[in-house]
């Protein structure tokens, strides 16, 4: 009994069961294109955020993890010489298959953390967009181990991951369904499996970062420092008292109302919150 208890306690947490809700077609209003709106269109998202970073893999072997309903897969299938897709949810694989058919070489449903059908040293690029952003760190770690195994020597990976600190283990409870993963932690995991980071950039939900002056955070340990991956410095909310009509983009999930009240009542009643 004691041994059983220890096994349960020591079992790693994976948010795989949580992510099975994507199997439900009702979660997909416009086959995923609804999430491209912040970039204008999916084509614009592909052109501005993805294409330049992976265009050197034209004609090569590409593996996409978690294609969903094939929103980005449609472009990858044109770029790749051979494209394979793997997703946890059968509905996603069926939808991608009905959209792209023989333009994708192989379609697999997996267990949400391994790539058993993919051979060692076989892929030039492993790609994933808008999916690792929802995966728990333990799931990401399993995939990084697998990515290292399936990539050819010198191969590369393009992984869109979350950039969120201090969130819960359950992504669905966090802002925008994001998982608790920082760029620093992601880099550590990548290096743990003998790979290296080529570059790490912030994709700011389509927002032009040049229009921002600074980041505001209550945490004194972050104030005075630069936000990782950007030139933006972090300040205390008190800085808002120095401006006449400042505009603040507030993205703090359940804390939004509390923060808004504090800013208006104690710092500057003219702050316009988006
Ligand atoms: C927000 S959708 C994004 C789909 C697609 N990449 C896109 O950009 O439109 C998230 C996708 O991740 C898949 N997914 C979530 N957790 C997964 C896991 N552990 N392993 C494989 N796929 C997973 C879901 O089935 C779903 O297809």
Report d(CA 232, CA 215) in Å as an integer. Answer: 6
The reply to whether 86 falls in a domain is: yes
Q: What is the mean pLDDT of the chain?
A: 92
pLDDT, tens only, 215-237: 999 889 999 998 876 788 999 99
Cα angle value 203/170/8 (rounded, 5°)? 135
The reply to whether 217 falls in a domain is: yes
CA 161 from centre of chain: 3
Inform me whether the pLDDT recorded for 7 exceeds 70.
no
* Highest-scoring range by mean pLDDT, 32-41, 140-149, 241-250: 140-149
Report d(CA 249, CA 66) in Å as an integer. Answer: 30
Residue 240: pLDDT band (50, 70, 90) is: very high
Centre of ligand 1 to C-alpha 60, Å, is 23
Percentage of the residues of the chain whose pLDDT score is greater than 90: 76
**Are residues 141 and 19 located together in one domain of the fold?**
yes
Centre of ligand 1 to C-alpha 20, Å, is 9
**Are residues 151 and 228 located together in one domain of the fold?**
no
Burial class from Cβ neighbours inside 10 Å (0-12, 13-18, 19+) for residue 136 reads: buried
**Are residues 172 and 219 located together in one domain of the fold?**
no
Please give the structure tokens belonging to residue 104.
């994708």
The reply to whether 88 falls in a domain is: yes
**Residue 108 belongs to a domain with what CATH number?**
3.40.50.150
Residue-range definition of the domain harbouring residue 67: 2-192
Residue nearest (by alpha carbon) to ligand 1 atom 10:
131
Half-sphere exposure of 30 (CA within 13 A, CB side): 7
Of ligand 1's atoms, which has the minimum distance to the CA of residue 68?
Answer: 27
Q: What is the DSSP letter of 169?
A: S
The reply to whether 261 falls in a domain is: yes
Residue nearest (by alpha carbon) to ligand 1 atom 26:
68
**Are residues 253 and 181 located together in one domain of the fold?**
no
* Pocket lining for ligand 1, CB < 6 angstroms: 16, 19, 22, 32, 65-68, 71-72, 87-89, 92, 112-113, 129-131, 134-135, 139
Centre of ligand 1 to C-alpha 216, Å, is 31
Report d(CA 160, CA 71) in Å as an integer. Answer: 14
**Are residues 149 and 187 located together in one domain of the fold?**
yes
First CA to last CA distance, the chain:
54
Centre of ligand 1 to C-alpha 268, Å, is 41
Q: How many domains does the chain have?
A: 2
Q: Which of 161, 192, 223 is the last residue of a domain?
A: 192
C-beta separation of 61 from 80 below 8 A: yes
**Are residues 222 and 177 located together in one domain of the fold?**
no
pLDDT of residue 143: 98
The reply to whether 156 falls in a domain is: yes
**Are residues 188 and 242 located together in one domain of the fold?**
no
**Are residues 14 and 116 located together in one domain of the fold?**
yes
Q: Which of 163, 192, 221 is the last residue of a domain?
A: 192
**Are residues 32 and 136 located together in one domain of the fold?**
yes
**Are residues 57 and 151 located together in one domain of the fold?**
yes
Least confident range from 30-39, 164-173, 220-229: namely: 220-229
Of ligand 1's atoms, which has the minimum distance to the CA of residue 32?
Answer: 9
Compute how many other C-beta atoms are within 10 angstroms of the C-beta atom of residue 121: 10
Please give the structure tokens belonging to residue 78.
């044109």
Least confident range from 28-37, 67-76, 134-143, 201-210: namely: 201-210
Q: Using alpha carbons, select from 42, 78, 47 the residue that is nearest to residue 62.
A: 78
- Global pTM reads 0.81
Phi-psi region of 61 (alpha: psi -120 to 50; beta: other; left: phi over 0): beta
Residue nearest (by alpha carbon) to ligand 1 atom 27:
68
Determine how β-strand 234-235 pairs with β-strand 247-248: unpaired
The reply to whether 204 falls in a domain is: no
* Highest-scoring range by mean pLDDT, 17-31, 218-232, 252-266: 17-31
Residue nearest (by alpha carbon) to ligand 1 atom 6:
67
pLDDT of residue 245: 86
- For helices 183-192 and 137-150, the axis angle rounded to 10 degrees is 40
Q: Which of 144, 163, 192 is the last residue of a domain?
A: 192
Report d(CA 50, CA 48) in Å as an integer. Answer: 6
pLDDT of residue 117: 94
Report d(CA 36, CA 25) in Å as an integer. Answer: 18
Report d(CA 231, CA 148) in Å as an integer. Answer: 31
Least confident range from 21-25, 125-129, 230-234: namely: 230-234
């Amino acid at each position: 009994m004691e041994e059983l208890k220890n096994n349960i306690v020591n079992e790693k947490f994976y948010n795989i069961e949580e992510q099975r809700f994507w199997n439900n077609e009702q979660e997909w209003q416009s086959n995923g294109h609804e999430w491209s709106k912040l970039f204008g269109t999916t084509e614009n998202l592909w052109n501005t955020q993805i294409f330049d970073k992976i265009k050197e893999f034209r004609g090569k072997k590409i593996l996409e993890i978690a294609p969903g309903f094939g929103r980005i897969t449609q472009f990858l299938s044109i770029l790749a010489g051979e494209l394979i897709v793997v997703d946890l949810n059968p509905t996603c694989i069926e939808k991608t298959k009905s959209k792209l058919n023989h333009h994708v070489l192989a379609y697999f449903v997996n267990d949400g953390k391994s790539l058993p059908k993919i051979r060692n040293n076989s892929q030039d690029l492993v790609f994933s967009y808008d999916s690792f952003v929802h995966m728990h760190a333990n799931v990401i770690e399993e995939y990084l181990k697998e990515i290292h195994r399936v990539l050819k020597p010198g191969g590369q990976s393009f992984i869109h991951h979350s950039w969120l600190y201090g969130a819960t283990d359950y992504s669905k409870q966090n802002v925008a369904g994001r998982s608790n993963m920082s760029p620093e932690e992601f880099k550590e995991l990548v290096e743990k499996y003998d790979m290296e980071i080529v570059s790490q950039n912030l994709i700011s939900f389509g927002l032009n970062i040049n229009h921002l002056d600074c980041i505001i955070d209550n945490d004194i340990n972050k104030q005075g420092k630069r936000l990782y991956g950007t030139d933006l410095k972090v300040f205390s909310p008190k800085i808002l008292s120095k401006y006449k009509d400042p505009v603040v983009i507030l993205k703090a999930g359940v804390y939004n109302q509390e923060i808004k009240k504090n800013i208006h009542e104690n710092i500057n009643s003219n702050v316009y919150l988006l």
